[in-house]
Amino acid sequence: MKALLAQAAAAVIVLFARAVTAVRTIWPEGGLPARPCIYFANHSSHGDFVLVWAVLPPRLRQRTRPVAGAEYWLKSRLTRFIGSDVFNAVLIARERENRVHDPIQQMAEAIDAGSSLILFPEGTRNQTDAPLLPFKSGIFHLVATRPDTDLVPVWINNLNRVMPKGEIVPIPLICTVTFGNPLRVEPDEGKDVFLERMQTALLALSPRPAGSGE
Amino acid sequence: MSPANSDLLMLVTGIFGVLIFASIVGYALEQRFSPTGSNASIENLNARIKAWWVMVVLIGLAFVAGRIGVLVLFAFCSFAALREFVTLINTRRADHWALAAAFFLVVPIQYYLLWAEEYGIFSIFIPVYAFLLMPIVSVLRGDTERFLVRIAEVQWALMICVFCASHVPALLTLHIPGYEGRNVLLIAFLVIVVQLSDVLQYVWGKMFGRTRIAPKLSPSKTVEGFVGGVISATLIGSALWWITPFTPFQAGLLAFIITLMGFFGGLVMSAIKRDRGVKDWGHLIEGHGGLIDRLDSVVFSAPIFFHIVRYWWSL
């Protein structure tokens, strides 16, 4: 019963996200990897992972789990249902003191179980004028334990204008989600070099800003 | 069958005939020159023909559904066009409520006023009320950066995508003696002349085009294409006098005005695209780009056509 409800909710969310944003998806030349991979994206709106999740082909979407903050999604019964049952999110504790599970371990287990992940390496929503905040190191530690996992950069454009932080009514603007070619961590690649390379790969997908506004 | 219905039926038969012919030509060209889908212009031509089928069927269904169908169709067009337009303009966080109002209040109210046939308020709602109220909503947040640019752009988006576009279904509200129950054919006349003029300008330009009119704006617009397109669309408009309340001469004259407005509308909208650094307004219609790419000439000709007909023919 709950699973059925979750499926229906998922269908409604996908339809709503697509209707509001008339989203256009640009795929990489070689297509998306068939094996479990990590989609890493820029983060500027609450709806970011919903949109990435919504544009994935259904077959891949079914085994793709967003990585999200447990504090937020376990707050109420409704968010718990949406977070755990609809999106099947990998919920990680943000604050070190509250941690029961190691986040890297949680994500690695999800990959081992055959799931792909949607990850926002900036760690928090970008409210600045800079296109991208510096990446947190979690993504490096994760691929250090699973070095043969593909990393797919995903640039989400315009969603921050649709739903800026603190607003409740979405503005229906056209969003674009651009998937890049898969990357991997190089053997012996240092953390800083790796993070720098991933940031560059992600930024390379960003278009010239349409309006010069925010 | 009423005369309006039989005229509509004849028109639909004619349009289907043209589309079937175009589809056959497109198919033959594909077989001959692009069997593997390698010729981009033939692929684009066929994508366009397919999109034309969809558009004709949608408009046809709206006509069958009557006044409400036409209003809903154009309200959706306004909404989608506004979305394409606002996506490309300067807005800031502070405009959030003004934009929400544009999409969720101004669009429905403008089309409701058409439904209620309230011409007095319909004709000034956007140029007067939205013009004054939108900046008030924006200014409340206190963000003055590029303020004039921001409000001017939103206002332009509303004028083009909602005010001008709504003048197409507004043709339904006109009361023309001796033309009762046939207003939907006026919409057909406007849309057919504008769209054929676009297509014919393109065809004439491809065949004989040498001299570019505005190389900076649109590399494909040529003097030869323009002249050929305007003359042939005017003649076709004149030949369609039987679906209108006009004499053949008047129909030709109106078609000429529609075609000119459509041409310059296309140029203006191209200039905006150039300024924003994009090739198309969006990606809604395969082969055509965005909805505004298809509507640009319609939105410029509709208000003028509407007012001429209202001034001289309507009660």
B197 in helix, strand or coil?
Answer: helix
- Closest residue in chain A to residue B273, using alpha carbons only: A210
Q: What backbone torsions phi and psi does residue A39 show, to the nearest 5 degrees?
A: -90, 120
A90-92 β-sheet, strand order: A24-26, A176-179, A150-157, A37-41, A116-119, A64-69, A90-92
- Rounded to an integer, what distance in angstroms lies between the CA atom of residue B133 and that of residue A82? 38
* Candidate from A24, A167, A208 with C-beta closest to B277: A208
A212: pLDDT confidence band, cut at 50, 70 and 90?
Answer: very low
Contacts of B277 in chain A (CB under 8 A): 208
- Closest residue in chain A to residue B101, using alpha carbons only: A171
Residue B277 confidence (pLDDT): 82
- Mean of the per-residue pLDDT values for chain B? 89
What residues of A are in the B interface, CB distance below 8 Å?
Answer: 22, 24, 158, 161, 164, 167, 169, 171-174, 208, 210-214
Q: How much of chain A, in percent, has pLDDT values that exceed 90? A: 19
3-state secondary structure A23-88: CEEECCCCCCCCCCEEEEECCCCCCHHHHHHHHCCHHHHCCEEEEEEHHHHCCCHHHHHHHHHHCC
- Is the reported ipTM for this assembly greater than 0.95? no
Residue B260 confidence (pLDDT): 95
- In this complex, is the C-beta atom of B94 within 8 Å of any C-beta atom belonging to chain A? no
A213: pLDDT confidence band, cut at 50, 70 and 90?
Answer: very low
Residue A136 confidence (pLDDT): 87
Chain A nearest C-alpha distance from B84 (Å): 7
What is the pLDDT averaged over residues A115-143? 87
Residue A208 confidence (pLDDT): 60
Q: In 3D, which of B171, B103, B160, B190 has the Cα closest to residue B293?
A: B160
Contacts of A211 in chain B (CB under 8 A): 87-91, 276
Residue ranges of chain B whose pLDDT lies below 50: none
Q: Is residue A211 predicted with pLDDT exceeding 50?
A: no
Residue A132 confidence (pLDDT): 87
* Candidate from B83, B90, B93 with C-beta closest to A172: B83
Two tokens at B135? 């900046």
Q: Does B91 sit within 8 Å of A161, measured CB to CB?
A: yes
- In this complex, is the C-beta atom of B131 within 8 Å of any C-beta atom belonging to chain A? no
Contact B243, B189 (CB under 8 A): yes
Contacts of A158 in chain B (CB under 8 A): 87
Chain A nearest C-alpha distance from B137 (Å): 15
* Candidate from A173, A208, A214 with C-beta closest to B86: A173
Sign of CA dihedral B291, A173, A80, A66: positive
Q: Is residue A214 predicted with pLDDT exceeding 50?
A: no
- In this complex, is the C-beta atom of B152 within 8 Å of any C-beta atom belonging to chain A? no
Residue numbers of B between 269 and 288 with CB closer than 8 Å to A: 276-278, 282-284
Q: In 3D, which of A110, A121, A119, A126 has the Cα closest to residue A194?
A: A121
Q: Which residue has the higher pLDDT, A1 or B58?
A: B58
- Work out whether strand A150-157 and strand A176-179 pair parallel, antiparallel, or are unpaired: antiparallel
Residue B246 confidence (pLDDT): 92
A21: pLDDT confidence band, cut at 50, 70 and 90?
Answer: confident
Residue B151 confidence (pLDDT): 92
Q: Which residue has the higher pLDDT, B213 or A117?
A: A117
Q: Does B278 sit within 8 Å of A171, measured CB to CB?
A: no
Find which of B82, B96, B97, B99 to mutate to test the A interface (most A CBs within 10 Å of its CB): B96
- Closest residue in chain B to residue A26, using alpha carbons only: B283
Residue B71 confidence (pLDDT): 94
- In this complex, is the C-beta atom of B83 within 8 Å of any C-beta atom belonging to chain A? yes
Residue B2 confidence (pLDDT): 66
- Mean of the per-residue pLDDT values for chain A? 86
- In this complex, is the C-beta atom of B88 within 8 Å of any C-beta atom belonging to chain A? yes
Contacts of B86 in chain A (CB under 8 A): 171, 173
Q: Does B93 sit within 8 Å of A208, measured CB to CB?
A: no
